[in-house]
Amino acid sequence: MENGDLVKNINRQQALFQNQLTAVAGVLEAGVHETRNLLSNVLLHGERQKLQENDRWETGSMSLLRNTTSSLENIKTMIASAISFTIADISEESNLCTRLCRLPDAVTLKILAAYCYEDLHGDGSDANPANGVFRLRRNWTKLTEVCRHWNKILKRSPEFWSFIDLSWPIELIDYHVGLSQGAPLKVRWNLPMSPSEALVMTRYHSRESTDPPSVSRKWNLVCAHWLGDVQLSVEGKLTGDKVTQLTNLLDLYPPTVKALRIYMRLEAGSPQVSISLPPLLMSNLSTLRLHYCGASGPFSPLLETIEVVGGNMTVNDIFQILSGCQVLKSGTFDVNAGAFLPPATWALRTNPLRLPHMKRLKLGRLSEATFEWLYTRILLEEVPNLEVILKFPHGTGTSFLLPARFQTCASRAHSLSVWRTDQVKYHFDTQHVHEFRLNYDLPMSPLYLRYQPTLSFSPFKFLRRLLIGTFSPHYLEFWVQTLHHLPYLTNIHIRGCQTKFSAILKAFCYGAPLYCPQLSILSLEDSEDDSWKWDEGTTEESASLQSEATDDCLEHLLRCRAAKGIPIQKLILSGYSWWDEGPERWNPLVGSVVLNEDMWTDPW
């Protein structure tokens, strides 16, 4: 702070103190003056009472005592108010001297917003379809009481007040709406699950907060403003009243709504409900999320995001949405599409449908036949981020070959991740990621069947990076043959049991020239999944011997490749494992050694 500003602040503070303390002194003096007047009145009244009869004395004394008490209460209130105001002003001045209050308002606002995030967003819990609609809390409003400076910042920041929960009293909703200053409102509402939940709600709000007429009044209040995001939830036992109430609310929707989420997690055995979406509501909707329910009615052609989770939807329904909503950027259909197929010639085009705006598409639980039906009608491989979940019935063969157009993409893939049998993900070009989850109805025993590679890797000819998510020695021959056809591989990450790595490590010393001659980064992760580490009869002693064998094979690999002039440049080993003991012993054989204690995520 410059010297001139410092002098100004000192002068301002001195003037504040002088004015405030002078005001307090004046109030105290007035209080003393009023008290002396009371004393004089009491003494005068006493002299008069001596000349009066007993019955008049009792009445006069009672009146005197009550008037005196009332006057003293007024004096106390006057003094207490003056002192409280002075303390508040001086405290506020002291707050302004802190570094926090000297921050720019925009920075303070970001700090407060971060602090309030969980109260307003539920820590993002509603982004998980398995979670119901987050019921808004108002704990964050206590920040307005910390100091006047924060109160001013919060009161003029509409983004804080645009969150509305219809379970609140209507006066509270009106208060928030007023402070939202026209910002798009984000409305949440959980229909009471049961009488017991309604009883819990009334502990915090009046009974009128949750009854249908009250909710309708509050809904009309918020609908008179700009609604940006609405989330409605029905849980527990579904009743006709709940469906009617939900439908009535949707009918009152203004066309300004941009985002709608409906969550209906019902009791087991309850039939799935299909909600009728009014055309006016759908006219401008850009985001629609349907969790555990269906929807009828035409979908908005302006939809940019759709998320359908847990409902029953046919492959025909999916196609109708993708073909009718041509500006979609994100689509999630995590549903049970069933085995129903429309006629083979239905919607068949000379040129398959393109999705030019789609950035991310997830298609869940399709059979091979339903996936093939979509594949022949839509250029799915052009979607930058595509995830497909395929479900195979019991007895199906355990090999899956990518369709022809996807094989072309796979031939350009530079990275491939294989996790057990159910996840294969590859990257190609700069932005494209394709992921296939292959769900086979396999028996739980023998356990190693769950780690059987099920995808044909023949199209992946130019891989630079490979992740083997769960290595099992039972499929060593398969992986050795795969490595033999990956001459451009530079980076490999193998996750499995440390005691079983020796065989796969030997493969990198095979061939003339060696397998994967360009390999420069080797990453080994010891899995903590003990359920499959131990074969029958394995003891601690034999496991220790196997780990030593793994170390011997690793050393042989490093020496062999160094001798051939193609040394490993970087060796990454998982921490909290056998390799914690003396990793520096590898330093002479490799460019660098790294112990990584957190290797659970995809390394690329």
Average per-residue pLDDT for the chain = 81
Read off the pTM.
0.77
Rounded Cα distance, 314 and 390, in Å: 14
461-480 pLDDT, tens per residue? 899 999 998 888 888 888 89
pLDDT-based confidence at 7, cuts 50/70/90? low
pLDDT at 529 over 70: no
Which pLDDT score, from 0 to 100, does residue 207 have? 45
Strand pairing of 570-574 and 330-336? unpaired
Encoded tokens for 526: 């010891």
pLDDT in tens, 194-249: 555 454 444 444 444 556 678 888 988 888 888 888 888 877 677 777 778 888 88
What is the model's pLDDT at position 422?
A: 72
Looking at residue 292, its pLDDT comes to: 87
Instruction: Report residue 131's pLDDT band, with 50, 70 and 90 as the boundaries.
Output: confident
Per-residue confidence (pLDDT) for residue 447, from 0 to 100: 57
What is the reported pLDDT for 147?
83
Q: Which amino acid is at 511?
A: G
**Within 10 A of 425 (CB to CB), how many other CB atoms are there?**
19
Question: Range with the lowest mean pLDDT among 83-97, 342-356, 439-453?
Answer: 439-453
Choice between 481 and 339, residue whose per-residue pLDDT is larger? 481
**Three-class secondary structure of residue 314 per DSSP:** coil
Rounded mean pLDDT of 303-316?
Answer: 89
Q: Name residue, tokens 């001139």.
A: 4
Q: Does 443 or 188 have the greater pLDDT score? A: 188
> Residue 129: what pLDDT?
79
Q: What integer is the mean pLDDT of 307-320?
A: 87
Residue partners of 422: CB distance under 8 A and separation at least 6: 437, 438, 439, 440
The SS3 call for residue 231 is strand
Q: Among positive and negative, which fits the CA dihedral 322, 324, 327, 333?
A: negative
- Asked whether the bond before 403 is cis by omega within 30 degrees of 0, the reply is no
- Sequence-distant (6+) residues with CB within 8 A of 403 are 372, 375
pLDDT score recorded for residue 202: 47
pLDDT at residue 531 greater than cutoff 50: no
pLDDT of residue 530: 46
pLDDT at res. 203: 47
Average pLDDT over residues 371-385: 94
The more confident residue out of 447 and 405 is: 405
Residue scoring higher pLDDT (123 or 8): 8
Token digits for 420? Answer: 């057990």
- Quote the pLDDT of residue 206: 46
pLDDT at 201 (0 to 100): 46
Task: Mark 460-469 as b/e (b = at least 16 C-beta within 10 Å).
Answer: beebbbbbbb
Least confident piece of the model among 262-266, 319-323, 369-373: 262-266
Rounded Cα–Cα distance for residues 387 and 407 (Å): 15
Report the distance separating Cα 503 and Cα 452, nearest Å: 17
The pLDDT tens digits for 393-435 are 766 665 778 899 999 999 999 999 988 667 889 999 888 999 9
User: What pLDDT is attached to residue 52?
Assistant: 59
In this prediction, residue 346 has a pLDDT band, given cuts at 50, 70 and 90, of: confident
